Structures are given as structure tokens and as C-alpha cells.
Amino acid sequence: MKRRFFTLIFIILAVMLTAEGLTGNAVAIKESYPEGYEVIKERAIQEWGTDHAMVLYEINKQCDSVLNVLGLAIAETGDLSVFMGAVEDWSASGTVLSNLEKLNSWLNGEDFYIIFTMRCDWAMVEYEYNKQMESAGAY
């Protein structure tokens, strides 16, 4: 319950922050968890190179998605096992075990913000999570 409350406060704070170019969520992660922001930024640069508009778009998309999917996963109606499966499916090559270790660390009450250093496609994790949750309720 404490983890949920803290996460909801973080999400509300993130939405309230704004900056030119970056979404409020991206600014919040950049300022509060620079190591996690650098992981997201590095992935965006690897994907888009010198197309700065697309790098910015990718950073914003990934930051928004990580906070969205975390909010969904820890909600009363959320499902952490579906979340873990989506992370496993969309982890960057060679990072599945590391990402799952970080998730387990968080679930065992350690630093929540280690989540931001996981190397995965957060937009696809969010998409997969939503798809699985919608499908689970359809039968």
C-alpha cells in the first residue's frame, strides 16, 4: 500500500511538471532519476541517431509509457504477473534476466526507482499489458 501511495504521488507530480520539448513525465524522470532517464535517452539515440525530433519523441513516449504501465500494474485491478510477462517479452536483447532481477528487487521492497534503469521498450510493455488485461476480461 505504501508503494502504491508513493507511486501515485510521483505520477501526479510528474503530470504537473512541464518543460519545452519534454513531457512532464520525462522532466520528472530526468530531474529525479537521472540514471533512469539516461537509459531511456540512450535507447532513443540508438534507435534514431541524429534525428533529434524523433529522439525527443521517443524519450517522451518511453517516459510516459513507463509511468502509465506502472500505474496500471500496481492499481487495485492491476496484475503484476502480466506486467512481468510484458517486461520479459519487450526487454532489450540480453537484458531479460537483469530486468527481472530489478523487478524482483522492487517487489521485495527495495528501491522503486530501479525500474527506470530497466532496458526495455516501455511503449510496447504498456501495449502488451493493456492487450493482455483486455483479453483476460473478454472470456
User: Which residue do the cell numbers 509509457 mark?
Assistant: 65
pLDDT band at 3 (very low <50, low <70, confident <90, very high): low
Cα–Cα distance between 35 and 63 in angstroms, integer?
13
pTM for the model stands at: 0.82
DSSP state of 75: S
Could you tell me which of 92, 85, 82, 84 has the C-alpha nearest to residue 62? 92
pLDDT tens per residue across span 88-125: 999 999 999 999 999 999 989 888 888 999 999 999 99
pLDDT tens per residue across span 115-137: 999 999 999 999 999 999 999 97
